[in-house]
Amino acid sequence: MAKWDENSVLQVERLTMRFGGLTAISELSFNAARKQITALIGPNGAGKTTVFNCITGFYKPTEGMINLRHPDGREFLLERMDDFLITRHAKVARTFQNIRLFSGMTVLENLMVAQHNKLMRASGFTIAGIFGSPSYKRAEDAAIEKAKYWLKKINLTDRADDPAGDLPYGDQRRLEIARAMCTDPLLLCLDEPAAGLNPRESEELNRLLLGIRKDHDVAILLIEHDMSVVMGISDHIVVLDYGQKISDGSPATVKNDPAVIRAYLGVDEDEEPAVIIAEVAAPIAAKKAEVKAATKKAPAKKIPAKKPTPKSRGRK
């Protein structure tokens, strides 16, 4: 049995989600293990974000079980819990595909809001805090220390007092991860953390995620399209297509799985994938050589990585 099954934090069993007549996910089962990075990949519309929304309680699954196990042996059935209780008690944190920072609050404040529940208890549910109790002061200082630790990890210590909305896109992505980590999660769900990042920012993200895996007792579950991120850092990959699991295993196994190749390249059932790959690969290789030759002659202008504009501020 693979190692991620032995110490799994998250167990998804026969998860099915239907929206009216549309089955977004059907009978999906997979595990995510502690101190491991599990990637959830698949073509557009495969149902990846729906899986995330089921795990984090934003959707209630139609069928199936999502079990989260704590190191002390407590188990939580996430499909029965409210979204904010999943974060609070079951210790699942998430980020969003379109960044959802509190853009009008400073970077530090964003990290403080993430520690809300701990601070709320320390402030005696506001009553002790309003009279300036020393125990709350200590708790707040500890929270600032924790925020500082994460600021250092994401290299944003110098910008701690700037509004989060003022940060560059890549920094906002990392800040959102740091904010999620400030809730002390056991499972961290990242929805396309590398979307819109340039190669350098992607590299920084990889380092951050590997650092989190090394230093923190957390299982990371990520959705990603950027294969350099997925193949570079994940320990375990689950591939979805049309809401069904088509492959599950280590990066090497998944990469060579004919079903995965078929899903990504869009091959008919009866065609032989190997033949298609050869067919597809040949022109690509030819084109590559062509481009190489062209760049040698006249270095083509580098097209900067396209960045999606951060979501518009103002009234929503």
Name the site residues for other proteins (rule: CB under 8 A).
Answer: 56, 58, 83-88, 93-94, 96, 100-106, 108-109, 112-117, 119-120, 123, 126, 129-130, 132, 136, 140, 144, 148, 151, 157, 160-166, 179-180, 183, 313-316
Q: Which residues pair with 67 in a beta bridge?
A: 11, 77
The set of residues, in sequence order, having a beta carbon less than 8 Å from that of 79 and lying 6+ positions away, is 54, 60, 61, 64, 65, 66
**Identity of the residue, 216 or 311, whose beta carbon is nearer to other proteins in the bound complex:** 311
Q: How far apart are the first and last CA of the chain?
A: 48
**Distance between CA atoms of residues 62 and 222, nearest Å:** 22
Whole-number minimum distance, CB 222 to other proteins, in Å?
Answer: 15
**Distance between CA atoms of residues 150 and 178, nearest Å:** 6
| 92-94/187-191 β-pairing | parallel
**Distance between CA atoms of residues 76 and 70, nearest Å:** 8
Whole-number minimum distance, CB 79 to other proteins, in Å?
Answer: 16
**Identity of the residue, 56 or 234, whose beta carbon is nearer to other proteins in the bound complex:** 56
Whole-number minimum distance, CB 146 to other proteins, in Å?
Answer: 13
Whole-number minimum distance, CB 149 to other proteins, in Å?
Answer: 12
**Distance between CA atoms of residues 49 and 40, nearest Å:** 9
> Encoding tokens for residue 160?
């701690």
**Identity of the residue, 49 or 202, whose beta carbon is nearer to other proteins in the bound complex:** 49
Whole-number minimum distance, CB 50 to other proteins, in Å?
Answer: 16
**Identity of the residue, 31 or 115, whose beta carbon is nearer to other proteins in the bound complex:** 115
The set of residues, in sequence order, having a beta carbon less than 8 Å from that of 220 and lying 6+ positions away, is 32, 36, 37, 38, 187, 188, 190, 209, 212, 213
**Identity of the residue, 16 or 157, whose beta carbon is nearer to other proteins in the bound complex:** 157
**Identity of the residue, 10 or 180, whose beta carbon is nearer to other proteins in the bound complex:** 180
**Identity of the residue, 5 or 166, whose beta carbon is nearer to other proteins in the bound complex:** 166
**Identity of the residue, 27 or 140, whose beta carbon is nearer to other proteins in the bound complex:** 140
Residue 123 parent element (H or E): none
SS3 61: coil
Whole-number minimum distance, CB 109 to other proteins, in Å?
Answer: 6
The set of residues, in sequence order, having a beta carbon less than 8 Å from that of 159 and lying 6+ positions away, is 107, 167, 171
> Encoding tokens for residue 144?
């600032």
Whole-number minimum distance, CB 57 to other proteins, in Å?
Answer: 8
Whole-number minimum distance, CB 279 to other proteins, in Å?
Answer: 44
